[in-house]
Amino acid sequence: MKLLRYGNAGHERPGILDSNGKVRELGSVVSDINGKTLSDESLKKIASLDINSLPLVTEPVRFGACVNNVGKFICIGLNYADHAAESGVAVPAEPVVFMKATSAITGPNDNIIKPRNSTKLDWEVELGIVIGKHASYVELDEAMDYIAGYCVINDVSERNFQLERPGGQWDKGKGCDSFGPIGPYLVTKDEVADPLNLNLWLKVNGKTFQNGSTDQMVFGPQFLVHYLSQFMSLQPGDVISTGTPPGVGLGQKPLIYLNEGDVVELGIEGMGVQKQVVVNAK
């Protein structure tokens, strides 16, 4: 299933994509796409519906973030060996973990807001994991049971804030408003035969910069859920962004960063496409 949220910002309604790629209303079945909706029982209920008989959404659709009320937005750094190489650092022995502010979350086609004093605004296409049930000290061989589905994420980053400002805190360059476009769809795991065999790509102004595969991940989704649950409980609706392949602006020679008016397009095989325009903060 491809679950989604549509409507004006702050007033999104739950929906689902039908077999013809059309958006159908889901509000008569669930109140929102959030942690409660992602329980095994709730997903089975949705799966049992005749999706094509649900009311069709006919008005122009704005997609919101595909999951609401995200409690934790956890990110994994340097999780592709070739991206670590372009960043000039060694492949980590354990996952590099940092957090994005949940206030960074936006719809997949909303504007990227370039912060005041930003000089090195960058892009990162990433596979997102959405947690479906409470996870604490999860065994590796059971970790997939805790994943509800997957989605596209643009881990927008400000490299000056992240790497060059005093204090050495990645979070400063990762959590600005609009730095977490999520969606358009939450694709339930039954539709993803192998999350470690997906093409993911990103273009800026029509030029392809990232074109990789999740088969290059150092730590896959199953391991990440297991690993993170040793340090913190994961809750339904939590999102894990799993790292990016090479081709980010920081890795270009000469360096390339985003500016007002630039258009970013990105997607993951079977999970939809995002498109954002860069605007300056007011």
All domains of the chain, ordered by start, with CATH?
68-280 (3.90.850.10)
Query: Which of the residue ranges 42-51, 159-168, 238-247, 258-267 would you say has the lowest mean pLDDT?
Result: 159-168
Using DSSP bridges, classify how beta strands 121-122 and 13-17 pair: parallel, antiparallel or unpaired.
Answer: unpaired
Q: Where are the alpha helices (DSSP H) in the chain?
A: 40-47, 81-87, 159, 221-228
In this structure, the chain runs to a length of 282
Average pLDDT rounded to a whole number, residues 241-268:
97
Res. 121 pLDDT band, cuts 50 70 90: very high
Q: Would the CA dihedral through 99, 78, 109, 253 be positive or negative? A: positive
Structure-token pair, residue 68: 């609401």
Pick from 130, 168, 145, 144: nearest CA to 37: 130
Average pLDDT, the chain: 96
CB-CB contact of 133 with 35 (8 Å): no
Provide long-range contacts, Cβ within 8 A and 24+ apart, for 226-229: 226/138, 226/139, 226/140, 226/143, 227/94, 227/95, 228/74, 228/95, 228/97, 229/135, 229/136, 229/137, 229/138, 229/143, 229/146
Give pLDDT tens digits for 38-92: 999 999 999 999 999 999 999 888 999 999 999 999 999 999 987 777 777 888 8
Structure-token pair, residue 17: 């994509």
Whether 167 has a pLDDT exceeding 90, the answer reads no
Pick from 87, 119, 124: nearest CA to 104: 124
CB-CB contact of 154 with 264 (8 Å): yes
Q: Distance between CA 131 and CA 15 in Å, rounded?
A: 19
Q: Distance between CA 178 and CA 37 in Å, rounded?
A: 25
CB-CB contact of 24 with 57 (8 Å): yes
Specify the pTM. Answer: 0.96
Whether 15 has a pLDDT exceeding 90, the answer reads yes
What pLDDT shows up at residue 169? Answer: 76
Pick from 269, 99, 260: nearest CA to 169: 99
Average pLDDT rounded to a whole number, residues 160-184:
92
